[in-house]
Chains A and B, each alone.
Chain A
Amino acid sequence: MDFALIVQYALSGITVGSVYAIVAIGFNIIYCTTGIINFAQGEFLVVGAMTAISLTQVVPLPVAILGAVLITTVLGGLVELVFIRQVRNASVLRLVVITIGLSILIREAVLHIWDEKPWSLPYFTGTAVSTVSILGAHISLQVLWVLGVSAVIVTALTLFLRYTTTGQAMRACADDRMAARLCGVNDRWMVTLSFMLSAGIGALAGCVISPITQTQYDMGAPLAIKGFTVAILGGLGNSMAAVAAGLFLGLLEAFVVSVLPACYKEVVAIVVLLSILVLRPSGLFARRETSALRTA
C-alpha cells in the first residue's frame, strides 16, 4: 500500500471518528450529573440540525445554528421537567427506559413536523467538493469544522465544570447527590441544566455534521449507538477521552476496511467494544483505581 493511500485511510477514519466523538460528548454530560445514559441524545442532534435547516431559509447560517441550539436547549430542559423529574423512586434503569421512549417520541415528532427526506446544511466553508490536501491525500473542510467544534466544546465544558460554581455544583451532584444537597446545591435544577446542556451540544453537533452525514429523521438511533460505543470506549463521563476514543474507533474502522471486505467493519467495532467491556470495563483511558473508588 503506498503512503498516500495510508494517509487517505487515516483521514477517512478521522472523518468518521470526529462524528462519533462529537456525538459521544453529549452522552457524558448527562451521565456525569445523573448517572443515566440518555438514549434520546441522537434525536437531539436530529432536532438541532432540522431546526437549523428550516431556519437557514430565513436567516443566515450562523444565526440559524445559534437559533437551533437555543431551541433544542429549551427542548432538552422541557423534556427533563416533563418526563424525568416527575418520576418517583427514579432508579437508573427506569430513567434509561424513559429516555428510550423519548427517543421514539421525538423521532416520530420529527417525521411529522419535517418529512422523511434527507436534508443537509450547506458546507460551512466551500462546497461539497472543496478539500485540503495533506501528504497527497484529501479531507473535506467540514471535517476540520467538526474537529474544531469538538475541541471548543470539550475545552469549554472542562473549564465550565472545573472553574465555575455551577459547574462544580453539577459535579458535586454526580459524586454524591445527598451531600451536595446538604451543601445547599439545588440538585434538581442541576439535572435540568445537564439535560439542557447536552441537548444544546447535541444540536450543535447535529448542525456541524449535517453537511457530511446528511440529516434524516431516523438517523438519531444509529448515531447514538456509535456515540454510546465511543463514550464507553473512552470511559463514561470523560469528554476528552471520548474524542480520543471516537478517533480511535474511526481509524480502526477505516483500516479494517483496507484489509477486509467493508461489511466486516461493524463486526470489528463491536468485537473491540466487547473486549474492552470485559478487559477494561471502566474504559480505555480511565485509571482503574479511581473508577473502583467511584463504584465502591
Chain B
Amino acid sequence: MRRRLAGILGVVVVGCAVLVSGCEKSPGPEATKSTAEAAPVKVGAIFAVTGGASFLGAPEKQTAEMFVEKVNTAGGINGHKIELLVRDSGGVPEKAISLAKQLIDEDKVLAIIGPSTSGETMAIKDICQEGRTILLSCAAAEEIVEPIASFVFKTPQKDSDAARRIFETMKDLGISKVGVVTSNDGFGIAGGQQLAKLAPEYGITIAISETYDKQATDLTDVLTKVKSENVQAVVNWSIVPAQSLVAKNMKQIGLDVPLFQSHGFGNIKYVEQGGEAANGTIFPCGRLLVADVLPDSNPQKKLLVQYKNDYETRYHEAASTFGGHAYDALLLLTDAIQKANSVDVAKVRDALEGLQGVVGTGGIFNLSATDHNGLAKDAFEVLTVKDGKFAVYQK
C-alpha cells in the first residue's frame, strides 16, 4: 500500500514537472519575440557543406555568413540582429531531418534556409510545415512548392523552366531526337521527369533515358548505349561531379553531338574539370555567371556584380549561382521581416507571400499565395562554355 502511494506520488510529481516545463516552453519564444524589440532573430541554415553536393552547400554557407554579417553591421533589420545557425547535412536527407527537428524544437528558429538538395528539402518539407517554421529552400525541384505548403518557399528557378529553355534551344537548332542521362538523386530524378513531361510539347522525342549512380567515376558505358540510339543531342541532368565526366566521356567515345546540361552546371569548377571537353556545353542558368557582360540596362546587373565582387574578394574563389540561391533566400526573408515589421512567424510568412518585384541573384521575384517561387522562365539565360569560360549562348 505504501509503495503504491509512493508510486502515485511519483507519477504526480513527474506529471507536474512536465506540465510546468511545458508551460514554460510554449509561451517562451512568443514572449521574447514580442516584448524585446531588439532581440536577435534566430535563422537556421541546413547546407550540404561537405559530401557529394558540397558544390552547392559550401558557397551557400559562405554566402549566408557574408550576408548576415553585412546585415548585422548595418544594424540589423528593424533593430533585430540575425543569429545564423549553420548546420552541415553532408547532403544526406536523414541528417537533414534530424537537423531540421533540432532547429525547430530546440533552437526555435524563425526560418530555415536550405537545404541544398531537393532530396533533403522534400524530406523536411512536412516537418517545417507542421512545426510552423518558414522553409526557404535553396534546391531546385518543382515538387518543393507544388503542391504548395504554406510555410515552404524556394529560391532557385523552376526545373520545368530549365527544361523549357533547353527544349526551346533544341528546337531552334532543329534537334528532334535526344538521349537523356540523369543522376540517381533527387535533383536528377525530378529533372528527368520534367524533361519526359515537357518533351512532347516541343515535338522532341526522348529516344533513351538512363540513370547513373551519383558517385559514378566513369560513364562511357551509359553513353555508349546513348550513342547506339543515334541521338542528335544529349541532355545530362545532375549536380554531381559526373557533369564533367559526361562531357569528357562523350568526346572520348566519339559521340559528337551537342551536350545540354541542367542549371546544375553553373559552377566554373565543372568547366575546369571537363577541360577542353566542356567547351560548347549548352545550359540554362541564372545571370550571375555572365554578370560582367550583361547590358547596364539589366535590372539585375548592379546586384549581381556587387554580390560577385563581394564574394570573390572575401573567399578568393569564383562565385556560383548556388551561393546566389542562399543570398536570395536571406534577401526574401529580411525583406519580409522588414515589411511585416515583426518577427512573428505568421506575419513574416504572410509578408513573404506578398513580396513583389524583389530583385535577386536568380531573377526578379514576384511571390503570391499560389506561387512560392516567384520566378518566371526568363530568369534563365541560355549559356555556353567558350574557351573554358561561361558566355551567353548565341546560335
Contact = CB atoms under 8 A, between A and B. Distances in A.
Contact of B50 (A111, A131, A138, A213): A111
A128 B218 contact: no
Nearest to B210: A262
Interface stretch (A58-66, A83-91, A227-235, A251-259): A251-259
Interface residues of A, number: 43
A9 B221 contact: yes
Interface string A240-281: 000000000000011001100111011000000000000000
Contact of A257 (B225, B248, B253, B274): B225
Contact of A219 (B215, B244, B251): B215
A216 B252 contact: no
A122 to B, nearest CB: 8
B232 interface: no
B273 A120 contact: yes
B10 interface: no
B211 A263 contact: yes
A254 B225 CA distance: 10
A139 B251 CA distance: 10
A115 B50 CA distance: 9
A261 B192 CA distance: 14
B277 interface: yes
A262 B222 contact: yes
A112 B55 CA distance: 16
A77 to B, nearest CB: 28
Contacts of B51: 116, 218
Contacts of A12: 218, 220-221, 224, 253
B54 interface: yes
Interface stretch (A13-21, A95-103, A154-162, A197-205): A13-21
B276 A128 contact: yes
A19 B218 contact: yes
A266 B222 CA distance: 13
A178 interface: no
A1 interface: yes
Interface centre among A116, A138, A253 (most CB of B within 10 A): A116
B222 A257 contact: yes
Interface in B229-253: 241, 244-245, 248, 251-253
A193 to B, nearest CB: 30
Contact of B253 (A117, A128, A138, A212): A138
A127 interface: yes
Given A118-B241, A262-B212, A129 B251 contact: yes
A131 B213 CA distance: 25
B254 A117 contact: no
Contacts of A140: 252
A128 B211 CA distance: 23
Contacts of B211: 261-263
Interface string B43-79: 0000001111011001000000000000000000000
A214 B273 contact: yes
Contact of A212 (B218, B228, B269, B274): B218
Interface of B: 49-52, 54-55, 58, 184, 210-213, 215, 217-218, 220-222, 224-225, 227-228, 241, 244-245, 248, 251-254, 269, 273-277
24 contacts: A5-B227, A5-B228, A8-B220, A9-B221, A12-B220, A16-B220, A16-B221, A117-B58, A118-B241, A119-B273, A128-B277, A131-B252, A138-B253, A139-B252, A140-B252, A213-B217, A213-B218, A214-B241, A219-B217, A222-B215, A257-B221, A262-B210, A263-B184, A263-B213
Interface of A: 1, 5, 8-9, 11-13, 15-16, 19, 111, 115-120, 127-129, 131, 137-140, 209, 212-214, 216, 218-219, 222-223, 253-254, 257-258, 261-263, 265-266
Closest 5 CB pairs between A and B? A116-B54, A213-B217, A12-B220, A128-B275, A129-B251
